[in-house]
Structure 1
Amino acid sequence: MRPTQALMAGGEGPIGKHGKFLGGWGHFGGMPQKGIISYTLSANKQNPFAGAAHAAVFNSWRRFSAQVLYVAPPMIFFYYAMSWAIERNHYLNSKHGREEANE
């Protein structure tokens, strides 16, 4: 496998088009770019949790209502099946249930 140009350069050689030097690892050189405008807002003016509680309530409701028909019917079915099985087990292990099984 042939190493890439960046690996052959060792981090200190010319990299990229037209032999432009970017600098070693962690020391990228070159002139600062012109015409780039960046806007920032100071940390004490930001409100990162603005509307988070409102969004959480409505997002939770949307997700719940989308999934409830997939989850609720099997849960209800298995709850009633399990309660019937527990009740039947208690009956079969009772005095009357043992008499019915011996008949």
Structure 2
Amino acid sequence: MRPTQSMMGGGGGAPVGKHNHYLGGWGAFGGMKQKGIISYGIANNRQNPIAGAFHDAIFNTWRRFYGQVFYWAPPAIGAYYILNWAIERNEYLNSKPYLQQHAE
């Protein structure tokens, strides 16, 4: 028996499946039962959700750091030396010996 128009959403455009029954709305397909699908579960009180998390965090952090350090360390070191040179040069140019030397 086919579903009524009201059950199919009123528009009559809802699909009727291979086995002649309403497939359902989006995400609620009412098709044939699946066979051969096995799912396993474990009780909540038997789980240990943070097992190995500290160990994995240390080694994952090191792996990620080691993989990226050569991308950001050389520019950071170069920027540090350039900034240090600029600060020292600015202090020298505004110092008394420089100003006395060029005041003459």
Taking structure 2 as the reference length, what is the TM-score of the superposition? Answer: 0.69
Higher relative contact order (CA 8 A, sep 6+): 2
The 1:102/1:18 distance shift into structure 2, 3 A limit, reads farther
- Count how many residue pairs are aligned between Structure 1 and Structure 2: 95
- Letter of the 2:20 partner, please give it: G
Rounded Cα–Cα distance in structure 1 between residues aligned with 2:32 and 2:51: 39
The 1:90/1:46 distance shift into structure 2, 3 A limit, reads same
- Structure 2: gaps of 5 or more residues: 1-7
- Structure 1: gaps of 5 or more residues: 1-8
Q: Which has the higher helix share?
A: 1
List, as ranges, runs of 4+ consecutive aligned residues in structure 1 with deviation greater than 3 Å. 11-15, 22-37, 100-103
1:67 is displaced (CA, Å) by: 1.1
- Letter of the 1:10 partner, please give it: G
1:23 is displaced (CA, Å) by: 4.8
Taking structure 1 as the reference length, what is the TM-score of the superposition? Answer: 0.69
1:1-103 equivalent positions in 2, closer than 5 A: 9-10=8-9, 15-23=16-24, 36-103=37-104
**Aligned 8 A contact 2:15 2:23 in 1:** yes
Q: What's the % identity of the aligned pairs? A: 61
Q: Provide the aligned C-alpha RMSD in A.
A: 2.9
- Letter of the 1:46 partner, please give it: Q
- Letter of the 1:50 partner, please give it: A
Rounded Cα–Cα distance in structure 2 between residues aligned with 1:72 and 1:39: 47
